[in-house]
Amino acid sequence: MTVQNTRWAAVVAVAAGTFSVVTTELLPVGLLTPIRAELGISAGAAGLLVTVPGLVAAVAAPAVPLAAGRLDRRFVLCALAGLLAAANLVSAASSSFAALLAARVVLGVVIGGFWALAAGLAVRLARPSSAGTATSVIFSGVAIASVLGVPASTFLAEAAGWRAAFAAMGFAALALLAALALLLPPLPPSAPLRPRDMASLLRVPGVRAGVSLVALLVTGHFTAYTYVRPILEQISGLAPALIGTTLLLYGVAGVAGNFVAGAVAVRDVRRSLLAVITLVTAATLLLPALGGSPAVAIALVVVWGLAYGGVSVSGQTLLLQSAPDRPEAASALLVAVFNAAIALGALVGGRVADAVSVPAVLWTGGILAALSATALLTARRSTATAPAPRP
């Protein structure tokens, strides 16, 4: 294998890692109904399976790189892959909601640490001329997990039960551990991340705008998306098998959205984000009004997936353009905000679902997504003359 091929094999291994951790984070989204039925919990309580790891990940994203200090990042990533396997296998064997929730706490550490470290590796694993493509490949793991992980778990749960979905991800994490150990080169930190690095980033106008945008948009998305299965059951009357197919189409559209948005973001990140915000807002606000038609509901979910697939790569590009000299700190900050927003969205969605109705989460999510456009206006002013990210 040539040096160039070895570099790309390492990039793909990291992408597989981001896919695995984010798929595991979102696994309960497609399994809410069977988990609730077996464990006897409310929709709001089930939402904690997404909220809790998101909150832990938000803390772990800066904490793990800080705690890792000068440890080789290859060793840290392999250790996190081992923890991922353990969290999934314990989840599969859990006999109570408390045990399942405890495993999700461990998962939160893995999500925050792995994603924060992986996000800044593209510029180290690929040639400088290919750093943009490598970033899209690594973030394709996030996009594919966000849009294919849920439908895949839904299909598996329908065939073999929700525990089988967690067990499958546990064994996949063991394979990931082997791949990372074999394919990653030594990755000593170029400079240990310090607490003041994170604080100083928030003084950069473009970073502040990007953080606000991601917080609002991702919170809005997960306020609605956490309950996508009961939404499609109650509004559109879709059968479980058709819901799985719909989410699979959502996934395919989202993977395409990741690469389309990545290509656009390199040239004009504001245009990419504006398209994402507009389509997410339109899909979530139109679904309760028009989703009574199964065909229209499926079409809107596909548009939703296409748009959301571009969030991660566009958000990362915006922060790297705003702070091109601090990629690891910018990545850690993005991951912290992203996962806090996932947790907050699931929490808000749970409260709205319990207090009002499940369909009402769509209105709430759509309004929050629309509000992110105000942050985009600030980002436009602060990044209009910013340079492209450099390794």
Which of 121-130, 133-142, 160-169, 375-384 has the least mean pLDDT?
A: 375-384
Residue 389 lies in a domain: no
272's tokens: 């990419």
Residue 390, pLDDT above cutoff 70? no
Give the residue numbers spanning the domain of 14.
3-383
Which of 1-5, 35-39, 134-138 has the least mean pLDDT?
A: 1-5
**CB proximity list for 174: less than 8 A, separation 6 or greater:** 85
Residue 202 lies in a domain: yes
> What confidence tens digit (pLDDT) does each residue in 161-178 have?
889 999 999 999 999 999
pTM (2 decimals)?
Answer: 0.76
d(CA 230, CA 349): 12
- Split at pLDDT 50, 70, 90, the class of 14 is very high
d(CA 189, CA 186): 10
Residue 102, pLDDT above cutoff 50? yes
Residue 276 lies in a domain: yes
d(CA 205, CA 288): 36
Stronger pLDDT, 147 or 237, i.e. the higher one? 237
> What confidence tens digit (pLDDT) does each residue in 336-378 have?
888 788 878 988 998 998 888 888 999 999 999 999 998 888 7
Residue 96 lies in a domain: yes
Residue 390 lies in a domain: no
Chain Cα centroid distance, residue 74? 22
Buried b (16+ CB within 10 A) or exposed e, 272-302: bbbbbbebbbbbbbbbbeebeebeebbbbbb
Tell me the CA distances in angstroms from 95 to 35, 41, 115, 384, one per residue in order.
11, 13, 29, 54
Within 10 Å of residue 174's Cβ, how many Cβ atoms?
16
Residue 391 lies in a domain: no
Say how many domains are in the chain.
Answer: 1
Residue 7 lies in a domain: yes
> What confidence tens digit (pLDDT) does each residue in 301-341 have?
999 999 998 898 888 888 878 887 777 788 888 888 887 88
Residue 176 lies in a domain: yes
Average pLDDT over residues 182-206: 80
Residue 192, pLDDT above cutoff 80? no
Instruction: Look over the chain and give the mean of its residue pLDDT values, rounded to a whole number.
Output: 85
- Split at pLDDT 50, 70, 90, the class of 385 is very low
We report the CATH number of the domain holding residue 176 as 1.20.1250.20
